[in-house]
Structure 1
Amino acid sequence: MINQQRGQRPAERLVLGAGLAVLTAACWWAWMAWDRGYQTDPATGSTSGPYEAWQVAGCVVCLVVLCVAATVRIPAWLVVPVMPVAFTAAWSWTAAGADGTGLWVIGAVLVFVGMVVGTGAVSGITAVARAAVRRRGRPVSTGQ
């Protein structure tokens, strides 16, 4: 297996990092940004929303796949800051425009922390798994 991260030029990493940022923000816009309506249960009167469980699950799955793919292609030290910043920026753009109270800032901090933890975990697991596969694929030296 060829280590695709070795030998990358800074310009190539910059382009890949920018692409990762765009795709990460696109996850927010595609899955959740368009839904601003709340649902009221007629039987109980309880309100939920604005997002449905399937939207959140779809967004998370896309982010996990994107994180794994990115960690395979570029170093984890680049993936971990890019994804949380891009996703939080996209989320904040939507939230700031819809919130007159200023509480969206608290939500942005929570989104950012959640993205850092999630991206760090997925990227770390991916990097460790890749290293294990690389070690297993190398021929064992007998010392002779």
Structure 2
Amino acid sequence: MSGALRSMISLTVLASLLAFASFSTADANPSTTDGQRGIKNFLTEHTLVYPDKKGEENLIHFGRFGTFDWYFPCQFESGTWNLNTDRVLSLTYDNPDFQSRQYKVARQDDGITLTDPGNDSPTVGKLIAGNRLPFG
């Protein structure tokens, strides 16, 4: 293979990698005006850490394909999540003992506020990149 052909292939590969990197990070940190799509991208592949009513730490990891895993002291649950155009987050648990829940979502600088329609006091949580749930 000639040196010119090698250089051309290297430049093509480098350009492709740069294009992919800029495309894949375009929605990584949406502003508060990005609407439902921005918040959905903001949640995906992040773990929400928030206190429950007793002050105990809860964690929810939002997966890429609409699934979630929830950890609260000594228990794991899973299910599916969806965010509608009104920024209402719906959590549907795989375990029939848990009722589905809905929260109005508002993005903050480094986290989100979840407001339960039946409860006026919002819960403020922090988002951490990746899956931060404990193992087993």
Structure ranking higher in strand proportion: 2
Give the TM-score of the pair, scaled to structure 1.
0.24
Structure ranking higher in helix proportion: 1
